Structure 1
């Protein structure tokens, strides 16, 4: 077992969190991660109220968290109140100014987890009263910014201590957990690895694409945000697997906007039938480390076991005076 400030603050056994991936991280996945001793989060996504409420009704929320896209939540602030009514242990906010959300969460006796992509944002989150700060590197699947995980994590640790810092982006096994702990992080948040879990809501065809791909097959692009009509603010871009649409339109966004309706229809049809030559597979650079679909519990236990071995027996070098 590995204990840290993260396990103490969340009262969990293992310093592993699952990312609140929109539409993929539902109650089943969050509950499975928490049951295994980690901390699972439901993805609040883009404000699909009925879906979120359905997920919250399926689980004992006192053992899980809920994640929101901050700038989107500002358009539907009532969703935060609804989620808090179910008594989650924590709320994760990412991408945008938390503003008065921090006070609302704190007043509900709920932990605030702030995911940040820069040192400046980490300092703002600390001043806002974040209980846990996730430092997300550009290697992560989904939306992210430009900083890489390896230099960002220790910089955030130095800036916000003693607040526990969680590393995210490019982490999918025990080696990543061991590395994060060595950098001073109190744990890790993994998305793509849990995307390929039995409890994830992702389409099997999408999971198979991840298993077959490697990190070179990902791209940060605005193509799918344009198609979905999501006006993401800078500096955030969406990391996905490359496919026919990204290859055609990544450098031709104006052309995509002009042909938008036709492409939207193709995109939505691809989602419906699991055609990921046009639909998005949202995944990070840790693809190289994923070659199977496991239960969430197996992912947690295997990651911790491998990290313990790595930390106890660092391979291939010796230290001498």
Structure 2
């Protein structure tokens, strides 16, 4: 059974699987590998830093002729970053976390497909009104940042799919294998956007220590908080909490997050531990499905396995 959906037909790609544009992990090699395997690779460009973008886009272009895209953090970019991304001629531009309105005109004038990620129903309605070509509905199980007022994937995706009508919706959050992809389709989505699982692949830019932590991690160990952004001095808006594996500074300030936000010693202690190597360079962003990640395959093998498992699951219950 071929898993043909509105998403696979739009680009077109063979499988209803997309790579989440994770900053620090989704570089050119991983993006290209997912696209070559029949999914949609999305480059994790974050703030659109010029040198990084140029280097990783060159890798993508030299490695695949299949559809691919670039993901940007809406709150962290300016118009110049969008123009740089579009100059790379991606098949898609994805905006996440913030109001994308100021950046839509250049995308509409280009040939790029507009993907908007949403984390609550208010954002979903806005994405529809703004004319998104694809909507990513991210549930709170997702690793990394998401809405502090969001809903879990299971109830959230059908609500967004019903609102979106003919607009393809990708489910995100808590999906790490083909069974999750199949579940997304049953919920009314046209595919799945997958992050944490792709961090543990041969082509990922994730630090080996991060990959090992993901392999050893458990969903029950993950915590959603703004604390690590506060003590790192990150500019992430407080409206977005982040799901990570456990961390010494989460333990240190548990129940006292407001105090950490105003105590200068919190940042100093974090910086000191970082300098001593007592904590990892970055928090380990990981979703609740981290328990399902037990190996480090190539991205091509992973996409093929997820597609096969999704087909088998849907056939078994048809």
Q: Give me the TM-score of the superposition, normalised by structure 1.
A: 0.91
> Partner of 2:59 in structure 1?
58
Aligned length: 309
Matched, 1:231 2:235: yes
Residue 5 and residue 232 in structure 1: after superposition, are their counterparts in 2 closer, same or farther (change >3 A)?
Answer: same
The answer to whether the Cα contact below 8 Å between 1:66 and 1:92 also exists between their aligned partners in 2 is yes
1:14 aligns with 2:18: no
Instruction: Report if aligned partners of 1:164, 1:186 keep a CA contact under 8 Å in 2.
Output: yes
Alpha-carbon offset, residue 268 of structure 1: 5.5
The correspondence of residues 34-183 of structure 1 with structure 2, limited to 5 A, is: 34-60=35-61, 63-73=67-77, 76-145=78-147, 146-183=150-187
* Cα RMSD, aligned residues only: 1.8
Take 2:236 and 2:31, find their aligned partners in 1: how far apart are those partners? Answer: 26
How far apart are residue 251 of structure 1 and its match?
A: 3.0
User: Does the 8 Å CA contact 1:170/1:285 hold for their aligned counterparts?
Assistant: yes
Q: SS of the residue aligned with 1:87?
A: coil
Contact 1:89 1:110 in 2 (8 A): yes
Aligned pairs for 1:302-313 within 5 A: 302-313=305-316
Q: Distance in 2 between matches of 1:243 and 1:137?
A: 22
- The answer to which of 251-260 and 221-230 deviates more is 251-260
Supply the distance in 1 between the matched residues of 2:254 and 2:46 (Cα, whole angstroms). 23
Distance in 2, Cα, partners of 1:94 & 1:43: 11
Offset of residue 58 of structure 1 = 2.0
Rounded to whole Å, the distance in 1 between the matches of 2:146 and 2:246 is: 16
Q: Which residue does the alignment assign to 1:301?
A: 304
Deviation string for 1:1-20 (max 9, x for gaps)? 31100001111010000100
Deviation of 1:167 (Å): 0.2
1:176: Cα distance to partner?
0.4
In the alignment, does 2:288 pair up with 1:281?
Answer: no
Select 1:261's aligned residue among 251, 268, 282: 268
Q: What TM-score do you get using the length of structure 2 for normalisation?
A: 0.92
Q: CA deviation at 1:222?
A: 1.4
Post-superposition CA distance 1:29-52 (Å, at most 9, x none):
000000000001111124433212
Contact 1:221 1:250 in 2 (8 A): no
Match of 1:25 in 2: 26
**Corresponding position of 1:193:** 197
